[in-house]
Amino acid sequence: MNKPAHAAIALGGNIGDTQTIVETLEAAIKTLATTPGIVVESQSSWYRTKAIGPTQPDYVNSCVVLKVTLSPVNLLTNLLKIEEKFGRVRTEHWGPRTLDLDLLLYDDIILNQFDLQIPHPRMHQRAFVLVPLAEIAGNWLYPISQQLIKDLVLEVDISDVQLLQG
């Protein structure tokens, strides 16, 4: 068994009405929590965010912090399986999706493989990732710049990130 590590995951979706999207994201978190080698430690609030890429509906986004005994590659494999379980079909780059699970951070490692980059590319520039992540992991050190997540969020435009009211 691997030594436990912490991982940060971004969740998002934009297919269906807001309630359907939130239900899908909540079900994905429950699936993560019942996956061997994964413990969900914290979850951010839900946020409505403008889509990047082709014209499409707004997203609902959140982040979770996990304690894992899975390697980064095995964790990614599980994330992709969960996306598939919830109907994720990859047809258009940055297109609409039922569920998107991105591995953002894994402890303080920097990994650059063909199919896996940690930290997630461009996460440090994306308000829809940084705002929810700062809520639950503001003191996590972004390993490339050695800045805290709560400081990175101050460097991006957060005007398109709105707290979703219950």
Residues annotated as part of the active site: 88, 97, 100, 102
Classify burial at 57, counting beta carbons within 10 Å of its beta carbon; exposed 0-12, middle 13-18, buried 19 or more: middle
Peptide bond into 72 cis (omega under 30): no
CA separation (Å) from 160 to 71, 100, 104?
Answer: 34, 19, 20
Separation of alpha carbons 67 and 38, rounded Å: 6
What single-letter DSSP state applies at residue 109? -
